[in-house]
Amino acid sequence: MVYNGRLGSDVRSYILYLATETKVPVAEIARKCKVSRPTVYRIKKQFENGAKHGQKVLNKGGRPRKISQRQRRILVRKLHSLRREVGSFSTNRLMDRAGLSVSEMSTRTVRRTLHQMGYHFLQARKKGILTEKDRLKRRRFAKDAIKEHGREVWTEKIAFYLDGVSFYYKRNPADQARAPSGRIWRKRNEGLSLYCTAKGSKEGSGGKLVKLIVAISHEKGVVACQQYEHLDAKYFNYFVEQNFREMFRKAGKGRSKLWVQDGDPRQNCALVKRTLNRMRTNLVSIPPRSPDINPIENIFHLVKKSLRDEAILKNITKESYEDFSARVIDTVTNFPASIIDKTIESMNHRLELISQTKGDRTKY
């Protein structure tokens, strides 16, 4: 029998008397007082722990807490520090940083404690919200691109697709590769706070970035891959003067001088435009907040996935910045040309999807 009401002091006293002063079985006490057997056990336990009738019970019995108040404070501090350093991280990584041993408590206990403190493993906020103006530009680009250049422009006329990319250096690549991505430990009202966005921290646990300018071409693979320290207008103008003629030659698109990049102001300033006009090149500029229209963005995603898979497969637990740079450049320059070709060939389908969805983002 289950009693859902509030027990009076006289009933509690009678139960306690029968349970402690007599030899009446618990089942018989529960039947006489019309309560459940767990209720009898609980009242008896409270008395044994020093609780008095009618007062708030300070010690309810049961198992002692595995995480102390001090450890809870350490967990919160280490959670914020890891969020600044690496963005996404696993519960095991958090326990290791907080000095909590798996032999003492389980990851489930730590997750339950974080939930009690208001932290949940929630989807990280995405960046670059499309405005109505952005959607209009995307629809116009999708409509005019094929009309002006034809459906074969992406594979036969555009010499190369160019963009800059950064790879975050991690001291322990295998550990970070196993960490969950896309979600982060945060409170529900922290969605727009610093370090709670999808990319997490701008730097890896090593505090450095490997920055590259990369260009890909249909049927030619990667035609340029150059590492840089700081990308500004002067550096990009120097890159154009030193490399563009050779890049057009490698692309092998005849007299076509078409090429694609996004609207980064450092790469579209007046200084760079004068150099490009002197070389008689024709830029196809991607609309703002439209990485799904630039196929090189998909290649960067696949390269990063390849680096993570390699770190796990080879169990790379320690790596210097120089070794990481060499591994990144080798992965980019030797990326399969067949995958690059297939990605570029999907451009017409991307534009059709943009037209159908009235400028919304596509699955790419």
pLDDT tens-digit map of 33-84: 888 888 888 888 877 776 444 444 444 555 677 888 999 999 999 999 888 8
> Which pLDDT value is given to residue 307?
95
Does the pLDDT value for residue 127 go beyond 80?
no
CATH architecture of the domain with range 1-62: Orthogonal Bundle (1.10)
If we measure between CA atoms, which residue out of 103, 226, 220 comes closest to residue 165?
A: 226
Residue with the bigger pLDDT between 220 and 188: it is 220
If we measure between CA atoms, which residue out of 346, 338, 340, 342 comes closest to residue 364?
A: 346
pLDDT one-digit tens code per residue, 280-329: 999 988 898 888 899 999 999 999 999 999 999 999 999 999 999 999 99
Q: Around Cβ 260, how many Cβ atoms within 10 Å?
A: 24
Residue with the bigger pLDDT between 39 and 193: it is 39
If we measure between CA atoms, which residue out of 167, 145, 67, 169 comes closest to residue 351?
A: 145
Name residue, tokens 């089942």.
27
pLDDT one-digit tens code per residue, 7-18: 888 888 888 888
Question: Distance between CA 118 and CA 299 in Å, rounded?
Answer: 38
Secondary structure letter of residue 168 according to DSSP: E
- Mean pLDDT of the 333-338 span: 96
Does the pLDDT value for residue 201 go beyond 50?
no
Query: Do residues 266 and 233 touch, judged by C-beta distance below 8 A?
Result: yes
> Which pLDDT value is given to residue 327?
96
Class of 132-169+208-356 in CATH: alpha beta
pLDDT one-digit tens code per residue, 207-256: 689 999 999 999 999 999 999 999 999 999 999 999 999 999 999 988 88
Quickly state the pLDDT bin for 279 (edges 50, 70, 90).
very high
Compute CA distances 136 → 133, 287, 358, whole Å: 5, 10, 8
Q: If 0-12 CB within 10 Å is exposed, 13-18 middle and 19+ buried, where does residue 344 land?
A: buried
For residue 144, the surrounding DSSP H or E stretch is helix 132-149
pLDDT one-digit tens code per residue, 83-122: 887 777 888 889 999 999 888 889 999 999 999 999 988 8
